[in-house]
Every structure is written in structure tokens, then in C-alpha cells.
Chain A
Amino acid sequence: MSDPVPLIVIGAGPAGLCAAAEATAAGVETLLLDEQTAPGGQIYRAIGRASPERQAILGSDYGRGARLLEVLDSGCLDYRPSASVWQVTPEREVYFTIAGQAQSLRAERIVLASGAMERPMPFPGWTLPGVMGAGAAQTLLKSSGLLPGGGAVLAGSGPLLFLVASQILDAGGRIAALVETTPRGNSMRAMPYLPAMLRMPSYLTKGAVLLARLRRAKAPHFKGAHNLSAQGGKRIEFLRFTAGGRDHDVPCSLLLLHQGVVSNVQITRALGLAHDWKPLPRAWQPRLDPWGGSALEGIAMAGDGGGIFGARAAELQGRLAGLDAAYRLGKLTQAARDAKARSVQRALAAERAARPFLDRLYQPAAEFLNPADETLVCRCEEVTAGQIRGFVKLGCLGPNQAKSFGRAGMGPCQGRVCGLCVSEIIARARGADVQDVGYFRIRPPIKPVTLAELAAMACAGPNDAK
């Protein structure tokens, strides 16, 4: 393998772009790998080519992403889009494929900025064609100008659900219904954390504006909905649920689901990093130091991949990780790093203040964490919640045994979609803590790689086979 690259940043969302910006500004030669065809991550997807009209629909928060792209002009930056990173080792080798060509590079330092994903929302029928993530619909709007034309139902909870609904309406689309599943007790539990939230008034104003927008549109709005099931033959035909003591069937051609976002832990898990179960957002979080550093020398994480704090926090975390990388690589003095970091750290603390309130307010309902028996939990291998409970009765102690018992998590998505739910179901069925039940051991490659790509790598290794 050739000389190591000083810094490899994985992911070109706000965290990755900002990490690269700070590092390159300090003169660190940086390689930025991103799986998407254009920079911006999911939050600022297609920001470089969105028309002013589309930016107006998507709002000022989206437009804010444009200035993050300035780093791409840096002479120190080597930006490679459409790069599927399929393995990162503790020895800081990064394996990736671009246009069918696999290669590996060693880095002196790595900043992982692999971001977040929508928390899957399993309930009976959620695998029908025409059922998608609300974030997926937003992606279609950002990158292709596709707008739900009517007949779309949005269901679930969380700020993004309202944001997407409001963007659809602003763009002239229609919503057949907004079906909120936020449990009724959540707001009571969240209230004590409101004062901290009030230090970030922008969140509240934004929320109020969104709700007003929905009221103006007179879209049917159901609250406290439960017993959801998606019904249809070959595709979604209607959403069935109970709300206000009555059963409802709302016809739709598109059902958009959302119940918050969670860290995408595929890379940090494959690296074997320690993760903590956070009972409040009900998600795993890799254990990191204040600079984003992990227990592995030279490997840091920035942004929502290390816990969900949002796009602005991701920028700030990216800056910290970039500054720290520049310092560790000898391009900044410790004093210079600390001086530059001070205002960033203050802003980051302020961004984080909103989370305790939001995490409590939008904690998912139990029926989507520990779904009904007939719900397909592992979409790839078609394993139901009931089957997983059956494995527990046969002695299955955790997710890794669930793979052996019945292939849960062994399909092409490698457990990304079912992982959280499988751990929750086993924990409830065993009466154990999710932390103790654990998570899938994530096996490389973290994205599928063809035999031809693998064979063509053909680099000589120290550990020859017989």
C-alpha cells in the first residue's frame, strides 16, 4: 500500500464538509469520500444544483447548506463522490469502490461522518410498495423536484414529519391526512425540559410556524393514533388506525412514515467500537470524547452518526473533529486548535440543549418499538416480530443468535433496518435491558462488493493462505 493519506473524511454532509473545511484550511491534505453523487449529505441533498424556487420551498435551513460547499474549491481537498465505502479497519485502512473499481487507502487519521437514517417504523403492512420514509419523500423533492401530488398520508411523529408536510404544502402538493402517533403522555414528560429548550427559541418558532401552516391547509390531522396497519394488495391502498376512540380507514396512494432519526452505526459497529444504549432516544451511540475521538487511535466521528443533534450541531462537531485532526497532524498548535474551538464548543452546547425536550416529546410509541407479532421486522429475510419472540422461547439470548435461529439481519441491508427493533423485541421478551441484549455484530463488507471487485484488489498481504 502507498503512503498514507493524512486525513480521510467519510461522508459529505454538514459534518464531513466542515471537518474537511477546517482541516484543509490548516493545510491538511484531505480525501473526502461520499456515497452520493453530489455533496450535501441527506439534509442538504442536491444543494449544489437546486433552483432558487426549490430552495425557497425547502426553506432557509436548506439554503444554508450552499455555503458549506466552498470547501470543495480547496486545493488541499480531493473529493470523490459515488464512493461506496465498504470497510474501515482499526488500522485505518479504508476500502471503497468507485465505478466498479475497488481500492484501499491507508490514512493517518479518519473522520467518520456517516450520518443518520430515519428510524424504521415497523407495523403490519409497512413493506407494501408505496410505503416510504417521509425523509425519502423529502429526498425526492430535493433531488428530483418530485412532489406528492395528492393522496399522500403522513404518519408517525417527530419534527421532520411536520417539516415534510409543510414543504409538500408550500410546494403546492396535497396531503390526504396527517396521522400523528406521538403517545399522549409524551408532552407531560417533556415539559420539565422546556426551559432548556427555550434557550433555543428558533426551534419553537419553527414548530409553531409549521403547525399553523398545517392548520391553514385544512388537512385532516389525527392525534394519538394507534393500531396502525397498512392495507392493500399489490401496493398501499389505505391506512387503518384507531384515533379518538374510533377506527379509521384513510385511502392513500402513498404512505410516508417517520418516527425520528437515529445514528447510522454500521461503520462504528464494524470497527468494533463500544456503543451505549441511550434509553431516551432509544438508540445506540458510539462512545466518543469531546473532539469526536474514539477508542481507536486516529479514528473520530462527527455529526449525527455519533448521536442525533441535528444539522447545525453536525457542522460544529465536524469543525471540532477537523481542528483536532489538524492539530494531531502537526498543522495547528494545541493553543490554536483550542482558540478556534472555543466558540464552536459554546455553540454546540447550545444546540444540544434542545434534545432532552425533543427526545421526550417525540419518543416513539411502544407499538413501533416492539411491534405486533405479524409485523415483518427484518424486511430482507422476512422475519416477523412473532418469529423473533419464538426464537427467544427456544433460548435465543440476543440479536446475533437471532441470525442463526432465523436469519434476522442477514439480508443485503445487513441489519440496518431491523437492528434496533430486533434488540428491543428480544429485550422485552427476555425481560432484559437492551444494553445487555446488545446489537448485531456487523460483518464487513458494510456495502456489498462484487467478487470481481474483490478479486481485482489482489494486493499482497502478510498473512498468506495455505
Chain B
Amino acid sequence: MQSNYDALIIGGGLHGLSSALHLARAGLKPVVLEKDYPGRHASGVNAGGVRRLGRHKAEIPLSVAAMKLWREIGELTGEDCGFTPCGQVKVAETETEMAGQRARVESLVAQGHGHEELIDAKELRSLVPTIAPHCLGAIVCRDDGAADPFRTAMAFARAARAQGASIQDGARVQSIERRDGLWRAATAQGRFAAPILINCAGAWGGEIAARLGEPVPMRTQAPMLMITERLAPFLEPVLGAAGRALSFKQFSNGTLMIGGGHLGRAEPARNATHLDFAALSRSAQSVLALFPALRGLRVVRAWAGIEGVMPDGIPVIGPSETREGVFHVFGFCAHGFQLGPITGQIVAAWAQKKPMNLPIAPFRIGRFA
């Protein structure tokens, strides 16, 4: 029995790795129990958006705090994670969408948040010269951006290890129990024990919560992404649309990534996803509606990740309300990547019984009861 750990972290995605890094930096010794390998699922294959734009109001304080960490991501992890503050743009195509965007920006400003900014058609065209002429304007977050998700997961893993965290690959958790003041997990790589347990199991987080006697109404989803052949530079910011399921970005290597929530089918028990070509067809239609000039661009690869989705569209972040020494961080509803750096800090504050200076009450696990 290995009991010389301070925390068991279930899940080696970005939230688990960030938790490991922040705990290790605080002088604690965590162990990450990862059933496959770090960054294997949503953390490694997501669209890489580093976005405050359009966040649910409850997420804004966390997202703003995370953004500060992203700007110094090299200091936190030792490498740049491919982060570029290329900006994020959300396009409005109709007067109704434009009015909705104006109302959102005004209400955010009233609450003291100035990161979202409304721009008109002229400025939109200067930011995105190839956009279809019918677009009326957009919300922009000029210093939002994007990063390389797998590199980010690897950077957090390396930094966490360098600070003394242990990361166990292939350590699927077979059983969890609390005995003699310790959480004990039996895994495919042996047994581990520690006084606290962090549930960062992503799309499998609901299953872990249920095993701890705290079931939540989480569903799994398989958001699909497409990558195109390389194209000469034509788009700087990450682009979304108010009225369409679209997220659209050009990497520095020239390839375009097309996502936005078109769904395939998830089979979490088999680690598998299946594509839905009718939905990919609609995804392609969305792209062409905004960028008719891309008709001849070729898609070279499509895939789907597995995501945990909560009924109210925001994650579970907070201590267990029934068990001692458990903290949940899962169910990010396909927009958890940008929050990764800050959730680890929240976990570390809780583990050290420090005051929580970010408002996490809206994410409590008990809200579904």
C-alpha cells in the first residue's frame, strides 16, 4: 500500500494535471491516476480556444483569472503551450443578433467586465477581410486567443512531475474507498492512498461522483472537429458566430480547424466516438455561409472528443457535499480548456484550507438535488 501521497487525482486531463501542478507547487505530493495517458481525451484533442468571450456569467470571474495565468503560461509550465493572443471574434449576421450582442456587452460593462467589445461591420472586415458581406458586426475579445491543447497538457504534466507530482499512466481506477482517514484507490497500476481525492475525470467524472454516492445528471457528448489542408494565412483571430454552431480557426501551419458543437456519437465505455456526416455537412455549410471563398478547401481529417455535459451548461467545481476530503472538477460542457490553469489553483487553495477568493458557489455539485 502506497500511502505517502497527499492527494489522489483521478484523471490526467488538463484539470487533473493543473491540480497536480498547483498542489505540487504548494509543497504537497499528489498522484494522478490516468486510465489511458495524459491528454488522451478532450484535453488533448479539443479546439484549443482560450476564450473569455461569450462565457456564462458564473464562469466570467474564473475565466478572467485564468486569462491572467495564460498570459504567463511559460512561467507556470516552463513552455509557451502554443498560446497566441490572436483574439476571438463572434460574428452577428442579423439585426436581432446584433441587438443581442449589444445588450450583452452593455450588461457586462455594467458589472465591471470590459473584456468583450462590440465592433461594427467596417471593423469586422478589417479584422476578417474575407468574411461574407452580409455580416453586420461582432463581439471581440482582442487578447483572447488559442493554444495547442496536447502541448498544453504535456507541459502541465512535465511541470507537475518536475515539482514532484506522480502521474500514473494506464491506472484505471477499479475501486475507491475511505478507510482510516484515507482515500484508497485500487488501480490497474497498483493501490494508492491519500487523505484527499480530486475527481477530474472529465466525461467519466459523473461515473466517479456516482461511485462516491453523489450522482449528477451528466450526459456525454462527442463534439466533432474537422481539419483542412494548409491554406496561405487568411484569418488571424478565432472566429465564432452568434447564430450558428461554428468555431473556426487557422493555425500558424496554415490548416483550418472547424468545430463549434456539431455532434457525433460518444461511447465512453469503449473510449470511442463516431462521426455523423450529416452534422459535418451542416458544419461545412456554416463555414461556407460566412466564407464562400473556401468552397474548394479540402477537409483532410475529422474526429470527435468525449465531453461531459451538465444540464445547465456549466461545470461542477467544488467540494463534495456528502463525503469528507473530496473535491470535484468535471463536466466542463466542451469549454473547459481555457479554465484549466485556474481550476488547479482552486483545488490547491481548498486542499490547503486557504480562503477561496473566486466565487465557485454556482458550480456546487449539490445544485442538481
List the interface of chain A (C-beta within 8 A of B).
87, 89, 93, 95, 104, 272, 394-395, 397, 401, 404-405, 407, 410-412, 414, 443-445, 448-452, 454-466
B60 contacts chain A at the CB level, 8 A cutoff = no
Q: Are B302 and A444 in contact (CB under 8 A)?
A: yes
User: Which 8 A-B pairs give the minimum distances between C-beta atoms?
Assistant: A461-B278, A448-B298, A404-B150, A455-B284, A454-B284, A452-B295, A465-B262, A457-B281
Contacts of A443 in B (CB 8 A): 301-303
Q: Are A463 and B282 in contact (CB under 8 A)?
A: no
Q: Are B285 and A455 in contact (CB under 8 A)?
A: yes
Q: Given that A401-B37, A444-B275, A448-B300 are known contacts, is A458 also in contact with B281, CB under 8 Å in the complex?
A: yes
List the interface of chain B (C-beta within 8 A of A).
37, 39, 44, 150-151, 154, 169, 227-229, 245, 253, 260-265, 272, 274-285, 287-288, 294-303
Chain B residue nearest in CB terms to A394: B154
Q: How far is the CB of A90 from chain B (nearest CB, A)?
A: 8
Q: How far is the CB of A85 from chain B (nearest CB, A)?
A: 13
Measured in the bound complex, the distance between the Cα atoms of B283 and A272 in whole Å is: 24
Q: Are A459 and B278 in contact (CB under 8 A)?
A: yes
Chain A residue nearest in CB terms to B153: A404
Chain A residue nearest in CB terms to B39: A404
Q: Are A451 and B279 in contact (CB under 8 A)?
A: no
Q: Given that A397-B37, A454-B281, A465-B282 are known contacts, is A445 also in contact with B300, CB under 8 Å in the complex?
A: yes
Measured in the bound complex, the distance between the Cα atoms of B281 and A457 in whole Å is: 6
Q: Are B295 and A454 in contact (CB under 8 A)?
A: no
Measured in the bound complex, the distance between the Cα atoms of B82 and A405 in whole Å is: 12
Measured in the bound complex, the distance between the Cα atoms of B282 and A462 in whole Å is: 13
Contacts of A411 in B (CB 8 A): 300
Contacts of B276 in A (CB 8 A): 461-463
Measured in the bound complex, the distance between the Cα atoms of B154 and A450 in whole Å is: 33
Q: Are A466 and B261 in contact (CB under 8 A)?
A: yes
Measured in the bound complex, the distance between the Cα atoms of B300 and A414 in whole Å is: 8
Q: How far is the CB of B203 from chain A (nearest CB, A)?
A: 17
Measured in the bound complex, the distance between the Cα atoms of B260 and A461 in whole Å is: 17
Measured in the bound complex, the distance between the Cα atoms of B253 and A410 in whole Å is: 12
Q: How far is the CB of A326 from chain B (nearest CB, A)?
A: 29
Measured in the bound complex, the distance between the Cα atoms of B298 and A451 in whole Å is: 6
Q: A401-B37, A455-B284, A465-B260 are in contact. List 4 more A-B contacts (CB 8 A).
A: A405-B154, A412-B300, A443-B301, A462-B276
Contacts of B297 in A (CB 8 A): 450-451
Q: Given that A445-B300, A450-B298 are known contacts, is A459 also in contact with B281, CB under 8 Å in the complex?
A: yes
Q: How far is the CB of B110 from chain A (nearest CB, A)?
A: 28
Q: Are A452 and B150 in contact (CB under 8 A)?
A: no
- Can you list 17 pairs linking A and B with CB atoms under 8 Å apart? A397-B37, A410-B301, A412-B229, A414-B300, A445-B299, A448-B300, A450-B296, A450-B297, A450-B298, A452-B295, A454-B281, A455-B287, A456-B281, A458-B281, A460-B278, A462-B276, A466-B263
Q: Are A463 and B278 in contact (CB under 8 A)?
A: yes
Q: Are A452 and B296 in contact (CB under 8 A)?
A: yes
Q: How far is the CB of A308 from chain B (nearest CB, A)?
A: 27
Q: Given that A404-B150, A451-B299 are known contacts, is A87 also in contact with B277, CB under 8 Å in the complex?
A: yes
Chain A residue nearest in CB terms to B148: A404
Contact of B278 (CB < 8 Å), options: A87, A445, A457: A457
Measured in the bound complex, the distance between the Cα atoms of B94 and A388 in whole Å is: 49
Contact of B279 (CB < 8 Å), options: A89, A448, A450, A464: A464
Contacts of B275 in A (CB 8 A): 444
Q: Are B300 and A466 in contact (CB under 8 A)?
A: no
A104, A412, A455, A457 pick with most chain B CB within 10 angstroms: A455
Q: How far is the CB of A194 from chain B (nearest CB, A)?
A: 45
Measured in the bound complex, the distance between the Cα atoms of B39 and A81 in whole Å is: 42
Contact of A465 (CB < 8 Å), options: B44, B169, B228, B261: B261
Contacts of A457 in B (CB 8 A): 277-278, 281
Contacts of B262 in A (CB 8 A): 465
Measured in the bound complex, the distance between the Cα atoms of B261 and A382 in whole Å is: 32
Contacts of B39 in A (CB 8 A): 404
Measured in the bound complex, the distance between the Cα atoms of B274 and A87 in whole Å is: 12
Q: Are A448 and B229 in contact (CB under 8 A)?
A: yes
Chain B residue nearest in CB terms to A463: B276
Contact of A404 (CB < 8 Å), options: B44, B253, B260, B298: B44
Q: How far is the CB of A399 from chain B (nearest CB, A)?
A: 13
Q: How far is the CB of B251 from chain A (nearest CB, A)?
A: 10
Q: Are B302 and A445 in contact (CB under 8 A)?
A: yes
Q: Are B288 and A455 in contact (CB under 8 A)?
A: yes
Q: How far is the CB of B249 from chain A (nearest CB, A)?
A: 15
Chain A residue nearest in CB terms to B280: A454
Contacts of B151 in A (CB 8 A): 404
Q: Are A451 and B278 in contact (CB under 8 A)?
A: no
Q: Are A449 and B279 in contact (CB under 8 A)?
A: no
Contacts of A464 in B (CB 8 A): 279
A405, A407, A454, A456 pick with most chain B CB within 10 angstroms: A454
Q: Are A463 and B265 in contact (CB under 8 A)?
A: yes
Contacts of A466 in B (CB 8 A): 245, 261, 263
Q: Are B277 and A104 in contact (CB under 8 A)?
A: yes
Measured in the bound complex, the distance between the Cα atoms of B44 and A366 in whole Å is: 34
Chain B residue nearest in CB terms to A443: B301
A411, A444, A460, A462 pick with most chain B CB within 10 angstroms: A444
Measured in the bound complex, the distance between the Cα atoms of B297 and A401 in whole Å is: 27
Chain A residue nearest in CB terms to B228: A451
Q: Are A465 and B279 in contact (CB under 8 A)?
A: yes
Measured in the bound complex, the distance between the Cα atoms of B37 and A397 in whole Å is: 9
Measured in the bound complex, the distance between the Cα atoms of B57 and A178 in whole Å is: 72
Contact of B264 (CB < 8 Å), options: A449, A456, A463: A463
